[in-house]
Amino acid sequence: MRILLTGGCGFIGSAVIRHLIRTTGHEILNVDCMTYAASEETVEDAPCSGRYRLTRANIVNADEMSRLFETFRPHAVMHLAAESHVDRSIDGPGVFIQTNVVGTYTLLDAARRYWFSLDTIDRAAFRFHHISTDEVFGALAPHDPPFTETTPYDPRSPYSASKASSDHLVRAWHHTYGLPTFVTNTTNNYGIWHFPEKLIPLITINAIEGTDLPVYGDGANVRDWLFVEDHAEALVKAVEKGVPGETYAIGARQPRSNLDVVHTICRVLDDLAPDPRGPRDRLIRFVADRPGHDFRYEIDPSHAERALDWKARHDFETGIRRTVQWYLDNRSWWEVIRARRYTGNRMGTAVE
């Protein structure tokens, strides 16, 4: 297939590209406007393959999106481009509306016009795969069952509201125009090449450097953690097998409280690179909670596991050890980011 993939220099998008290049014969056009969190390094050896091309473009640019459809002529779209940090959405929601809502509309409409121009066989084969988040479902209480594909939407932050809006647009373009779209919703991802504003890379890097480890509130908020390479495998299976009009909730059944995550990182790092000053958990600091902080997210991935013939390969302990070791081995990447005096807006939890 020829796949037009948006946001491919970001955390999850780059993992999908690495998986596509290494395990399939598909051709990829990576459309990325290269925001602060994007890096060409993240796709690793993809540019050497001959099946990968990067175009710097913003998905809100309708003329450019139409041109890319006409010149690349994709068989499928994988739409991952999004603003994704909850803290940033609280401080500046406008860019989230532009990218996540207006950008998705622009891409959908360019895809619709392109799809109408195809012959019958190519129209039947075309797919528009929209990658979303479990945060659109709101928050779970401690004993609520996990989210599924039929959980009602109840977004609580500007970020999750913008993603919920984009999900609704994707489904509307299917039901109104017949565009063969489907949606995947996922839990928190973690792994290599994760930008340092999110919980796991932030805590890992701070712990390596021996600085404070900030945790919102009492650290009791729970997230369901999915290793990014497992998610990439699921997304590729979805674009190859996904049924128009469907939803696939993708997770790993690995819920942990934020405080448990921080303690695990400290324990793994103490094992891999002991600090002569003592265990890293001495660095934990509890900070003021963020506004509207959802208590718990968790997904039941049973439907996606069956439909896509997929299951997460990594448990949290295995995945976090690989992740921490990667940050130890790749200081040159994140030290450049630190050197830019990146501080973020609020620090202490993860949202992706």
Residues identified as active-site: 134-135, 159
Residues 239, 3 contacting (CB under 8 angstroms): yes
**Is 268 strand, coil or helix?**
helix
Question: Burial letters for 102-118: b for 16+ Cβ neighbours within 10 Å, e otherwise?
Answer: bbbbbbbbbbbebbeee
Other CB atoms within a 10 A radius of the CB of residue 205 amount to 18
Q: Which residue has 């404070």 as its token pair?
A: 212
Sequence-ordered list of residues with C-beta below 8 angstroms from that of 146, at least 6 positions apart, any chain: 140, 224, 251, 298, 299, 300
- Distances in whole angstroms, Cα of residue 213 to Cα of each of 145, 146, 163, 167, 318: 31, 29, 29, 34, 22
Q: CA 78 to CA 129: how far, in whole Å?
A: 5
Residues 229, 15 contacting (CB under 8 angstroms): yes
- Distances in whole angstroms, Cα of residue 267 to Cα of each of 187, 255, 274, 283, 317: 24, 18, 10, 12, 11
